[in-house]
């Protein structure tokens, strides 16, 4: 697994645009599969009410359409993905700041700092979505290589096989 992680990290560093394109395609495939599963569940789950079945089926169709959109226009789908990540980070930042105000987190300054960084990162995703995702891929690729190398270096030593004891 470590070798695979190193190779994938190197690919991400060498071809960040191709990596982003691949992420968009794989995400689209995932959405299509997830939507089809949701549609199938709407037909097969007897315990759901008719309204819930319709809701599940309609939601499944929307998810399939989103998956098709991701595959047919990967660049636009990456922009949407950046906006979703940005919304999540802004919401997380607001939650951290509220936790600091309510004294849920100690030290409080850490909650304020964490919240502010999350909010700024969320706004960066809105202002420069393509650049933000490219930097995200580069950082993630570097981290994948570092984690994989450290994991590889910390593997336990190879044990002798049972056959060597027979000799």
Query: Is 164 contained in some domain?
Result: no
Cβ distance 42 to 64 under 8 Å?
no
**Sign of the C-alpha dihedral computed for residues 32, 38, 40 and 43 taken in this order:** negative
Residue whose C-alpha is closest to residue 120's, from 79, 81, 92, 84: 92
pLDDT over threshold 60, residue 158: yes
> Where is pLDDT greater, at 153 or 160?
153
CA 84, 25, 144: angle at the middle one, nearest 5? 75
Query: What is the average pLDDT value for the chain, to the nearest integer?
Result: 85
pLDDT value at residue 94: 93
Residue whose C-alpha is closest to residue 19's, from 30, 7, 31: 7
Query: Is 158 contained in some domain?
Result: no
pLDDT value at residue 91: 92
Cβ distance 70 to 24 under 8 Å?
yes
Task: Give the count of domains, the chain.
Answer: 1
Query: Is 167 contained in some domain?
Result: no
Residue environment code for 104-130, b if the CB has 16+ CB neighbours within 10 A, otherwise e? ebeeeeebbebbeebbebbebbeeebe
Question: Which residues are within 8 A (CB) of 44 and not within 5 positions of it... i.e. 6 or more apart?
Answer: none
Tokens (6 digits) for 68: 């098709």
Query: Is 166 contained in some domain?
Result: no
Query: Is 124 contained in some domain?
Result: yes
pLDDT value at residue 155: 67
pLDDT over threshold 90, residue 83: no
Residue 91 sits in which domain range?
A: 2-153
């Amino acid at each position: 697994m470590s070798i695979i992680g190193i190779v994938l990290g190197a690919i991400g560093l060498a071809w960040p645009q191709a990596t982003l394109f691949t992420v968009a395609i794989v995400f689209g495939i995932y959405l299509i599969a997830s939507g089809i599963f949701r549609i199938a569940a709407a037909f097969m789950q007897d315990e759901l009410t008719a309204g819930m079945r319709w809701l599940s089926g309609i939601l499944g169709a929307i998810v399939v359409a989103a998956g098709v959109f991701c595959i047919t226009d990967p660049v636009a789908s990456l922009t949407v993905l950046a906006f979703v990540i940005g919304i999540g980070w802004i919401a997380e930042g607001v939650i951290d700041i509220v936790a600091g105000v309510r004294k849920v987190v100690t030290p409080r300054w850490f909650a304020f700092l964490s919240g502010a960084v999350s909010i700024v990162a969320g706004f960066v995703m809105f202002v420069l979505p393509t650049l933000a995702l490219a930097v995200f891929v580069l950082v993630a690729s570097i981290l994948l290589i570092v984690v994989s190398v450290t994991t590889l270096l910390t593997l336990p030593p190879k044990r002798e096989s049972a056959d060597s004891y027979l000799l």
